[in-house]
Amino acid sequence: MEESLEQFFVLVGLLVCLACLAKCVRFCKCVLLSFWKVLPRSFLQSMGQWAVVTGAGDGIGKAYSLELAKHGLNVVLISRTLEKLHVLAREIEQTTGSRVKVIQADFTRDDIYESIREELQGLEIGILVNNVGMLPNLLPGRFLSVPGEIQSLVHCNVTSVVKMTQLVLKPMEARRRGLILNISSGVALCPWPLYTLYSASKAFVCTFSKALQAEYRAKGIIIQVLTPYAVSTPMTKYLNTNMVTKRADEFVKESLNYVTIGDDTCGCLAHEVLAGFLSLIPAWAFYSCPFQRFLLTRYTDYLRQNAGIK
């Protein structure tokens, strides 16, 4: 009996060591890739002629559209505000020479996908960036204080990822190549009190992406979920940038270095470090009343000061 227990604890110890080693290797890869670009410039082009970006009018979506065009891809811009899309389309065409197609769609609705499918017909789509998303309120708050946009948020954060993936995945499977980047959030890595609905919707994106990658990895398709923390965009009220809060363009450039690193990534080295630190906080402390008071007071004051919220 004692011998069996000893073997059991040795096995558990080995598994813990292997898990720690895997995390160290992953972190070392992130450090390497943040300073040394080893991904061939032609890699993204090899996925296909066109990249599709949802939520392309602002922030991270706009940055992905510009960066992918600089890598030689034609870009389909999908968002709600047509004027912003036309301005971005002109900028991409004038600065990169890439072709641009504009599709106006409101992702808070669920009756838009047949129209999008018709617009995408005949295009060799090699990359899909599921970026569109809604944050009910930048400031933390309890669930019942969330504005009455619950169904809109579910359509925008959840339905859009499923439906857009469904539209492009079959042709990718037939060609045996393709890249799908699903933009989630750092608050999806564990349940975040006071960001409950947003955290849960982004957790769906993580689970969906990882399971789908397991299904289609053998088909030559890369499906990666990104879990960034603070990025200065219109959705985050243009938070002041610092070592942790990134500009959208610098986040996107760095994240594209990591497309072959694994099924999930925070997208930049600073956020990988932050995620590692937060994972050390015990669950009981994370869900405690004092932590929630911290979010409602100190953290709220920080957001008001750095985002100019009155």
198, 229, 258, 302: the active-site residue: 198
Q: How is residue 225 written in tokens?
A: 């979920």
Contacts of 259 (CB under 8 A, 6+ apart): 39, 43, 44, 179, 181, 222, 224
Reduced to 3 states (helix: H, G, I; strand: E, B; else coil), residue 104 is strand
> Which whole-number Å values give the CA distances from 141 to 197, 203, 255, 281, 287, in the listed order?
10, 18, 30, 21, 14
Are 104 and 116 a contacting pair, CB within 8 Å? no
**DSSP percent split of the chain into helix, strand, coil, nearest 5:** 55, 15, 30
Q: What is residue 86's DSSP assignment?
A: H
Reduced to 3 states (helix: H, G, I; strand: E, B; else coil), residue 232 is strand
User: Catalytic: 198?
Assistant: yes
Are 58 and 233 a contacting pair, CB within 8 Å? yes
Residue 279 burial (10 A CB sphere; 0-12, 13-18, 19+): exposed
Q: CA torsion angle for 243, 245, 247, 251 (degrees, to 10)?
A: 80
Catalytic residues: 198
